[in-house]
Amino acid sequence: MTAALRHYLIITGNYWAFTLTDGAIRMLVVLHFYQMGYSPFAIAMLFVFYEVFGIVTNFVGGWLGARIGLNRTMQLGTALQIGALLMLTVPNPMLTVVYVMVAQALSGIAKDLNKMSAKAGVKLVAGAADDQLFKWVAWITGSKNALKGAGFFLGAVLLAWLGFQGANFTLALLLVLGFMATLTLPAGLGAMKGKVKFSGLFAQEPAINWLAAARLFLFGARDVWFVVALPVYLVSIGWDFEWVGAYLALWVVGYGLVQASAPSFLKNTQGGVGVLTALRWSLILIAAPLLIWVGLMAKLNPSWVITLGLAVFGAVFAINSAVHSYLILKVSSLDKAAMNVGFYYAANAGGRLLGTVLSGYAYQTIGMTGCLLISAGFIGLAAGFTLKMSQSIAAQSPA
């Protein structure tokens, strides 16, 4: 086994363990606090600090990784997630809104430190070959999302078996194993040799700015109906908690498998995988939420409309996400990989924040159909910014 492959497997393994806990904690919080009588908007607000601090963490984390090494930022993120999980093991009377928001803030910092470190680390260990980079990025991203789906199911099952506090303690123990694995990574992985200026974070290439804007609205389009509206809607039409957790888990697992398979699926793309690939698949994606909206407005069986429509949405969204994750690494130089990836995933976290808040508010005010229309609009914006990225790259290319 080569050193590069060994380091890639360590990064991936820790990312897997972290992702299981991240998916589980999301499902635990949504279902537990809905059971306690919280409104959909109140549940959404519990995740606001998670997303806000994720934006800040991605932005600052890229700079920090360039200074101290991605191995250290990954270890720091894993340790913070362990702390966040242990915070949620206190008795129910102590689980106030402010307390849970603080725990979610720590979890948001942890998640995005870990994600930035893993994605930028792949760029460093994959070498210069674009094919290898796309395969490794698609695999770590797709397998991560498959495990996040497993985490949704794990969270729902642990909630039923062990209760909220016992579930969080069990997840903390699992993550200790991931932390121990990161201790074998080489010191200073991805650290820049020269002085890293914080102001460098604000001087991004135009193509990266446009890609980040597209990413923001792409993930806002997903989370505006997926994070809070969907699980609450499914419960409201008679689904049990375990069935909600199982279905969302199956969806994210399938989504991750499609994402991991994206290089094989797109291998015959004319001209190779690039910005126009992302634009094409964004335009296809717009149809999915609109078709689900039509089915619900036509009073068709909502369980079938949602489950089948979400399957289509997930498959097309997975291709979009895989291509986006590849593009940010492809257009980033090795010495700026950590900072560019941090900036890009700050936009990703901004999209999640926008989608999360709107998911609760829009569902409470205009229902699931309203959430779907907002989703379609956001995808249209993502496609527009992807087109601007293509134009920016074309303008910079020699005639």
Instruction: Give per-residue pLDDT as tens, 193-214.
Output: 555 555 555 546 788 889 989 9
Q: Provide the residue type at 164 as one letter.
A: F
pLDDT of residue 144: 75
The pLDDT confidence band at residue 168, using thresholds 50, 70 and 90, is very high
Under 8 Å between Cβ of 7 and 62: no
The pLDDT confidence band at residue 370, using thresholds 50, 70 and 90, is very high
Residue 30: name the closest of 86, 98, 118, 104 by CA. 104
The pLDDT confidence band at residue 296, using thresholds 50, 70 and 90, is very high
What mean pLDDT comes out for the span 85-98?
A: 88
CATH superfamily to which 3-190+201-396 belongs? MFS general substrate transporter like domains (1.20.1250.20)
Q: Percentage of the chain with pLDDT > 70?
A: 90
Q: Which helix (H) or strand (E) holds 341?
A: helix 337-396
Using the Cα atoms of residue 85, residue 259, residue 131 and residue 336 in order, give the sign of their dihedral. Answer: negative
Q: Is the per-residue pLDDT at 394 higher than 50?
A: yes
pLDDT of residue 64: 79
What mean pLDDT comes out for the span 221-227?
A: 87
Q: Is the per-residue pLDDT at 128 higher than 70?
A: no
Would the pTM of this model clear 0.85, i.e. be above it?
no
What mean pLDDT comes out for the span 123-129?
A: 63
pLDDT of residue 218: 94
The pLDDT confidence band at residue 378, using thresholds 50, 70 and 90, is very high
What mean pLDDT comes out for the span 364-386?
A: 93
Residue 369: name the closest of 302, 317, 273, 313 by CA. 302
pLDDT of residue 399: 47
Range 127-136, long-range pairs (CB < 8 A, 24+ positions) = 127/4, 130/272, 130/330, 131/263, 133/326, 133/329, 133/330, 134/262, 134/263, 134/273, 134/326, 134/330, 135/263, 136/8
What mean pLDDT comes out for the span 221-245?
A: 84
pLDDT of residue 201: 57
Under 8 Å between Cβ of 302 and 159: no
Who wins on pLDDT, 133 or 321?
Answer: 321
d(Cα 262, Cα 41) in Å, to the nearest integer?
35
Residue 140: name the closest of 158, 162, 114 by CA. 114
- The mean pLDDT value of the chain amounts to 82
Who wins on pLDDT, 207 or 295?
Answer: 295
Q: What is the pLDDT of residues 169-185, one digit of tens each?
A: 999 988 888 888 888 88
Q: Percentage of the chain with pLDDT > 90?
A: 21
What mean pLDDT comes out for the span 246-274?
A: 81
The pLDDT confidence band at residue 379, using thresholds 50, 70 and 90, is very high
pLDDT of residue 384: 94
b/e string for 334-353 if b means 16 or more Cβ within 10 A? eebbbbbbbbbbbbbbbbbb
Q: Is the per-residue pLDDT at 290 higher than 90?
A: yes
d(Cα 221, Cα 219) in Å, to the nearest integer?
5
Half-sphere exposure of 256 (CA within 13 A, CB side): 22
pLDDT of residue 313: 93
d(Cα 79, Cα 183) in Å, to the nearest integer?
12
pLDDT of residue 297: 93
Q: Is the per-residue pLDDT at 216 higher than 90?
A: yes
What mean pLDDT comes out for the span 366-376?
A: 92
d(Cα 291, Cα 111) in Å, to the nearest integer?
33
